[in-house]
Chain A
Amino acid sequence: MKHFNLNTDGAGMNREDISENFDDLHPPLDASKAAVEASRCLYCYDAPCMNACPTRIDIPKFIHQIRSGNLDGSARTILSANIMGGTCARACPTEVLCEEVCVVHETESGPVKIGELQRHAVDHLMENATSHPFPRAPVTGKHLAVIGAGPAGLSFAHRSAMLGHNVVVYEAKPKPGGLNEYGLAAYKMADDFAQREVDFLLGVGGINIEYGKALGAGLMLEALRTEFDAVFIGAGLGTTRALRASGEELKGVGDALDFIEDIRQAKDKTKIAVGDNVMVIGGGNTAIDAAVQAKCLGARNVTLVYRRGPEAMSATGWEQDLATANGVVMRYWMSPKEFLGGEKVERAVFSEMEMKNGKLAPRGTDVELPADMVLKAIGQTLDDTVLSGLKIEKGKIVVDDEYRTSLPGVFAGGDCINRGEDLTVQAVEDGKQAAIIVDADLRAAAKGAAT
């Protein structure tokens, strides 16, 4: 388990120690370590790891290719199934996906480090390839619109471009990558990897990204439907949920995702302000990313508060261990009630919780803790005001098995849809599969028109 430089004595941290904390969480495997790790793979038939991967990367094949010295071939095996294999190698919760079901678990200490091997192969190709590894099919003359340059949208765009279509991607932010660029801890995506990956992906050709364009802000879904042959929505989720606790408007109470974004976008991490008593509210990997990074920046006390027990947290066991190993205090069965202070938050009051008749309910007792920084990580919601005409349920766009929304010609994938887990790797799969469906639709229509 990684141990960061911490402000244990309260004397503060120097710039070098803080900067060092944002280096690669897992240093890349060198060639000989990769060879040793690859040799642990049993080359399973119809492998459980492959079936546990949402994008179904042929893992035994790519590891065998590392072993044979065919690193570019290995990377092509990965990227043909998952064009964001580089990000997934870094940020996937492999401990609950491919590595969890690795059969080597049962006979040796720990699974094959599939994520690290994947990174070894993909990094090699991205650093050495002189041209994009996947050719485009003959250009079809079809034009597709994509909303959101996150993992789902870019995966859709890449696969569509490979299939011969031209794609315009509309992105609200000034940079592409979505949560890969804005929503992951900096130590998971060191050396500007998200941008390098997008540049690599765009190397296929046929994709244009227009920045500062969001639905509602000058971009209307109806107009896109008219102008393009198909539309794919991979807009993710917008706003962070409200806690509905009084004092939420106080200075110092903010979104964990904004904090994570600020760190990611800062060239000099030491310039990011962090409190002495940081309170992170939530139980997912975003909460962990915020809490651990607060520690990395030199926060003396960081407490992660979750309203249920540890087993109910959506953060993986590995992520939880990373937090506790680095001094984050975990407090369970506590729900925010109010934030107190003058202009700025000073204290947080929590209701102690318990399960009553199968339902989460306050016990009637409160806990008050000092807090000069509160970070909310309780999930995001879809801004559905700009999606008029689309069927929405429980705050997500409804799609069928083929990623079709309720509007003909409009498809959707990634975190904004009502299927699959909210993971980068799932978003990549959604985009890839939707592109294959759209392509089939367009070709069938063209054939129908020709006869």
Chain B
Amino acid sequence: MTDLGCVIGGVESINPFWLASAPPTDKKYNVERAFKAGWGGAVWKTLGVDPPVVNVTSRYGVHRSQDRTVIGINNIELISDRPLTVNLREIEEMRREWPDRVIIGSIMAPMEEHAWKELAVKVANAGVQGIELNLGCPHGMCERGMGSAVGQVAEFVEQTTRWVREAVNLPVFTKLTPNVTDIMIPASAAKAGGAHAVSLINTVNSVIGVDLDTMTPMPTVDGRGTHGGYCGEAVKPIALHMTAEIARQAETEGLEISAIGGITTWRDAAEFIALGASGVQVCTAAMLYGFRIVDDMIDGLEAFMREKDYASIDAFKGMASKRTVDWNELNMNHDLKARIDDDACIECGRCFIVCEDTSHQAIRIDARDDSGRKFTVIDDECVGCNLCMHVCPVKDCITMEAVDTDRPYVTWPEHPKNPMNKAAE
């Protein structure tokens, strides 16, 4: 029996799928629809100190792949623009009507102790199961000394986390901005401030595109544009890395992770959990397809866990983290060669041209008897880079075969060609 029930930063949830603090969680109407669809929890759209902010039009821009699929959104929307009392009343109602679901209150305040503490207490009193500190928005709010302007300064991260810890007796999630040189700095600061968990990543600072007719950055507001927060599938690799680092480094040991960043399918969620996340938060996928996408996130994750015989989220949480290491710990003796399956090959020539132009000239074209083309890997030139395998449009047509598997595990610090290698002296 697989069980998706989990505990994230001390908060129990029926499944690991929460909606991130963002437009989809702006009001009761939306969150109610989300809970009906099956989401385990929602981090309410960030609440600030009254008077509420005022937003601009337009707010979103998108990044498309060549086949027109949206792979990223950027937004210049600010925090909730509704009065705090309205939001708090709706949160209270939702907590009463949906007792088995999680609502986390996301808050943002100026860098003042009383502001953070008062807001945290008000939100806690509405019945939320945890408080999330929004230290991440890279647009608008940061110009007022909030959002990423706080999250980019380690001392502020620690300070705000501590203030909220002192103010309320609830799990505290510190939401981190990826717009830093090293995520370990704010993550360690959050831990030092007493955070139960970190939520990451917030959006990546970005300009999504330029309208070449009007020469205006997008999204455009009356002839002008500004940088905004980038999210969606395209940012997933950045989020995976940051999750992996926090999960595996000793200095953040014990700090739980509520992972965010381009999670679109159950597979994405499983990857974050495998790297050490306790649960995930989703925004962009819902904004592109609606709340119904949680159906297959739940169904697919359950199927995966059944197939792999993982009884619970905890059973595979962090399993890939153990295999995430520094480059210096990799085996220099590992050797792969590409293998092309002639029967599967459709002769598009993509492998050849990328290897020839941009890699190691390790693929040869020969004429076939039947007038077609045969592609062969030249082992002496192949460095096992995987590029041909990745560009091949046919699944499993190009595979990588390990050769010289009997050679010992040798890392760069131990390697004879390393000039710093003491053993080589």
Most B-side CB within 10 Å, residue of A35, A47, A103:
A103
Q: Whole-angstrom distance between the alpha carbons of A48 and B346 in the complex?
A: 10
Interface-facing stretch out of A37-45, A228-236, A386-394 = A37-45
Chain A: which residue is nearest B348 at the CB level? A44
B347, A103: Cβ atoms closer than 8 Å: yes
Interface residues on A, range: 10 to 19
| A42-B393, A45-B352 given; A103·B346 CB < 8 A | yes
User: Which parts of B50-72 form the interface with A (CB within 8 Å)?
Assistant: 66-68
Which listed residue (A35, A36, A45, A107) contacts B394, Cβ 8 A?
Answer: A107
Quick check: is A67 within 8 A (CB to CB) of the other chain?
yes
A45 to chain B, nearest CB (A): 3
A127 at the interface (CB under 8 A from B): no
Q: Is A311 positioned at the interface, with any CB of B under 8 Å from its CB? A: no
Query: Is the CB–CB distance between B68 and A103 below 8 Å?
Result: no
Most buried by B among A44, A45, A46, A103: A45
CB pair B66–A39 under 8 Å, yes or no, is yes
In Å, the complex CA distance between A346 and B348 comes to 56
- CB of A106 within 8 Å of the partner chain: yes
Picked from B66, B365, B393, the residue with its CB within 8 Å of the CB of A107 is B393
Describe B's contact surface by its main secondary structure: loop
B67:A42 contact, CB within 8 angstroms? no
Please tell me if B349 contacts chain A, counting CB pairs below 8 Å. Answer: yes
In the assembled complex, the Cα of A43 lies from the Cα of B348 at a distance in Å of 8
| Residues in B187-215 with C-beta less than 8 Å from chain A | none
Specify the chain B residue showing the minimal Cβ separation from A39: B67
In the complex, what residue of chain B is closest to A105 when comparing beta carbons? B346
* Chain B contacts for A39, CB-based, 8 A: 66-68
> Quick check: A45 and B393 within 8 Å, CB to CB?
no
Q: How far is the CA of A317 from the CA of B300 in the complex (A)?
A: 44
User: Which parts of A35-81 form the interface with B (CB within 8 Å)?
Assistant: 35-36, 39, 42-48, 67
* A98 CB → nearest B CB, Å: 14
Give the chain A neighbours of B394 by CB distance below 8 A: 107
Binary flags per residue of A91-105, CB closer than 8 Å to B gives 1, else 0: 000000000000110
Give the chain A neighbours of B346 by CB distance below 8 A: 103-104, 106-107
In the assembly, what is the distance between CA of A106 and CA of B394, in Å? 10
Give the size of the chain B interface in residues (CB under 8 angstroms): 14
Q: Are B393 and A36 in contact (CB under 8 A)?
A: no
Task: Type the 1/0 row for B347-363, where 1 means its CB is closer than 8 Å to any CB of A.
Answer: 11110110000000000
Known contacts A107-B393, A107-B394: does B67 contact A47 (CB below 8 Å)?
no
Set of chain B residues within 8 Å of A35, measured between Cβ atoms: 68
Q: Which residues of A contact B373 (CB under 8 A)?
A: 46
In the bound complex, residues from chain A placing their C-beta under 8 Å from that of B350 are: 42-45
Which chain B residues lie closer than 8 Å to A67 at the CB level? 66
Residues of B322-369 at the interface with A, using a CB-CB cut-off of 8 Å, are 346-350, 352-353, 365
Cβ of B63 to closest chain A Cβ, rounded Å: 15
CA distance A39 to B69 in the complex (A): 11
Task: Give the residues from 386 to 405 in chain B that come closer than 8 angstroms, CB to CB, to chain A.
Answer: 393-394
Instruction: Find chain A residues with CB under 8 A from B68 CB.
Output: 35-36, 39
Query: In angstroms, how far is the closest chain B Cβ from the Cβ of A312?
Result: 23
Cα A61 to Cα B255 in complex, Å, equals 52
Return chain B residues, CB-CB under 8 Å to A45. Answer: 348-350, 352-353
In the complex, how many angstroms separate the beta carbon of A43 from the nearest chain B beta carbon?
A: 7
Complex Cα gap A35–B347 (Å): 24
Chain A contacts for B365, CB-based, 8 A? 46
Q: Least Cβ distance of B353 to chain A in Å?
A: 4
The distance in angstroms between the C-alpha atoms of A45 and B346, with both chains bound, is: 12
Complex Cα gap A44–B365 (Å) = 14
Specify which chain B residues have a CB less than 8 angstroms from the CB of A107 in the assembled complex: 346, 393-394
Q: How distant is the Cα of A138 from the Cα of B386 in the complex, in angstroms? A: 51
Q: Name the residue of chain A whose CB is nearest to the CB of B68.
A: A35
Alpha-carbon gap, A48 to B349, bound state (A): 10
Chain B residues, CB < 8 A from A42: 348, 350, 393
A267 to B67, CA, bound (A): 42
Most buried by A among B348, B350, B352: B348
**Pairs of residues from A and B, 7 with the lowest C-beta to C-beta distance, nearest first:** A45-B349, A45-B353, A39-B67, A103-B346, A44-B348, A106-B346, A42-B348
Show 10 A/B contacts (Cβ-Cβ < 8 Å), sorted by A. Answer: A36-B68, A39-B66, A42-B350, A44-B349, A46-B373, A48-B347, A103-B348, A104-B346, A107-B346, A107-B394
New A-B contacts (8) at CB < 8 Å, excluding given A39-B66, A47-B348, A103-B347: A39-B67, A42-B393, A44-B347, A44-B350, A45-B349, A48-B347, A107-B393, A107-B394
